[in-house]
Amino acid sequence: MASGKARFAIGNFASLDYVLYLRAGEDLDPDITQRVDYSTKKNGVERNVVHKQTLTPADEVKDHKFVIFDSLSAYARLVMEDMCKSEDDITPELKKQIEKRVIDGITALQDKVTENHGNLIIISLETGFSVRPTDRALAAYRDIMGRVNQRITSTCAEVYFSASGIQFRIK
């Protein structure tokens, strides 16, 4: 989180009411909780924070118009863990199935927010800047995330890269 992705996302919806911060994966960082609380109090708006390891993030949106989904990479890891019980299970076909399931889940999330006439910010990790892991599961995860990030960003109106607290618009 040190790259500023969550701060940037929260800042984009700072003055909007009834924002859903949906965390799919590991526990919510205390720093993020503090940022959400600060933004809520400062702007006098309502925020909902949901931390849930869900395989169907669209179901959590309900009637929220503004959604921050944190994160695509954590969601992909949940799907991968659900579909792959051991490192030996990883095949090229399984990787394609995992990618499809992740993309379908995010497409359903995008559709739900669009149905609510709202906006969605998706936070993800860029996994392509590191050395390819020797661990088969980590290498498969990196490959899956690379393709999923490409597919999802191709459907987005705006895409930002975040590094050292600075956001660069790349699309």
Which pLDDT value is given to residue 135?
Answer: 86
List the CATH number of the domain containing 141.
3.40.50.300
| Residues making up the chain, counted from first to last | 171
Place of tokens 């659900």: 82
Tally DSSP H helices, then E strands, for the chain.
6, 6
| Pairing of the two strands 19-23 and 47-51 | parallel
Give the domain extent around 35. Answer: 5-169
| Residue 1 banded pLDDT, cuts 50, 70, 90 | very low
Task: Of 74, 44, 37, 45, give the one whose Cα is nearest residue 57.
Answer: 74
Q: What is the pLDDT of residues 111-167, one digit of tens each?
A: 999 999 999 999 998 887 777 888 888 899 999 999 999 999 999 999 999 988 899
Q: Does residue 2 surpass a pLDDT of 70? A: no
Which pLDDT value is given to residue 111?
Answer: 97
Q: What is the pTM of this model?
A: 0.89
Query: In total, how many domains does the chain have?
Result: 1
Find the mean pLDDT for residues 9-29: 85
